[in-house]
Amino acid sequence: MAKSDKYREMTSQILKEVGGISNVLSVTHCMTRLRFNLKDSSIPDDDKVKKITGVLGVARSGGQYQIIIGQTVPDVYQAVLDAGNGALVGGAPIDENLDENPKEKLTFKRVFNIVLNKVAGSLTPTIPILISAALFKMLAAVCGPTMLNITPASSDLYKVFTFVGDAGFYFFPIFLGYTSAKQFHTSKMLGMFLGAIMLDLNLVKIITAGRPFTVYGIPMTLVNYGSTLVPILLSVWVMSYIYKFFDKHMPAALRTMMTPFLTIAIMVPVTLCVLGPLGGFIGDGICNGLLSFGKMGGIWAIIAIAIIGAVWELLVLTGMHLVIISAMTLIFTQGGHDNFATLGGVAASMACAGMALGCALKIKGKQNKALAWGYFISNLIGGVTEPALYGLAIRYKRPFIGMMIGGFAGALYAGIVHETAYVLVPVANFLALSTYVGGSVTNIINGVISGAIALVVAAVATYLLGFNGQDVEDAK
């Protein structure tokens, strides 16, 4: 069967089980999952969806119905869009009458899920930028004067590595202006424009000068918005309502010119005098709060890091890891380093690969071994943990314990030696260890040792614990 035929068949079954195209509000995907926003989320039968060939598992999180596919998810996602014949638009809602759909009661849990969904949807598309910028910063650190000194600080190549890496983080508000506008269903160009206003050189000079400044006579708090995250998210969210109001009430002849102008005219003081400073305050609070755990010192900080290493993949299964990743993104873009959550996350990623390795060595049956080795390579090289999580850890139970032991051990070592992560590398493969580049050579060595401990301990623990239930030699 040709690949295209396989994806079409899988797509047909998936759409059928989720209630058809008419039940789909929007669909998008991350690295491994199809993410549906459904009108009626009670329609899909999880057990039936899991039986579809090519589906690794199902999760309900952040208000979404998530179908775990693995690394082929972009192909399946495109097949879903093709099957919609234009009725489905990735990342945006299809035509619906909100008045005809029952509105769910706003509870704390629902509000939290909505916020999580919007933040995750805004950050996920920026991952390629973060990865690329992080690797350039890593090259500047490794090849620069503080380490190998291959490229002295005065060399053109070192300067290129530096400004390319810095650009990915400094201009983050512009990138988020686009992606968050997409999440809030408003003008993407105005979202980017709002981010650019916050980074304009003239505004930077005003802030640097430190003298009082007003916007339409309203006092402006002097805040540097370079590399920030929360201010632009709040601003685009508010802008979505203002833009919608003008777009709805403005005469058609004036809409093209006046709607964007009036929207920005209102958003300038709202952003620079209210939302920007508020977002900066919230962002600083989150950063300082998390970093304070790492600065606590003593046994409790070390144990906290180790616990994150142990439970990180549990958070991945529920989608709750996005909360910590969002905070980590904020920490790196504003503070430049993290000595708490990242340590546990990196160890957990290596432990997941170690668990797959232990399964590959222990499991019986040619097909099962091939799958386990595939999951190991997918994790260690491709940076995707979900196939191993759903194909091995969830399926056989005991490997999950082995993975948690490995994550705990690797993160515990990182905490004991007071590791510091200097670069945000939002992938779960071996490149995650490059997060420790930027400080001393000892920091890098200890970081690699931490990852090695997590991988080896998880592999050994998984091998010794074996599998739960029936003999896996005959498992299909």
CA distances from residue 182 to 128, 233, 463 in whole angstroms, order as listed: 17, 11, 46
Kindly report the CA angle at 317 between 17 and 309, in degrees rounded to 5? Answer: 170
Cα 94-98-100 angle, rounded to 5 deg? 115
Q: State the Cα torsion 228-233-239-244 to the nearest 10°.
A: 150
Can you name the residues that pair with 92 across neighbouring β-strands? 89
Cross-strand partners of 66: 35, 59
How many Å apart are CA 366 and CA 388, to the nearest integer?
17
359 is catalytic: no
**What token pair was written down for 381?**
């090289």
Q: How far is the C-alpha of 114 from the C-alpha of 396, rounded, in Å?
A: 33
Instruction: Spot the catalytic one: 30, 143, 273, 359.
Output: 30
CB 456 within 8 A of CB 464: no
C-alpha angle 29-31-35 in degrees, rounded to nearest 5: 25
Say how far apart CA 112 and CA 307 lie, in whole Å.
23
Q: Burial code of 123-133, b = ≥16 C-beta within 10 A, e = fewer?
A: bbbbbeebbeb
Residues marked active site are found at 30
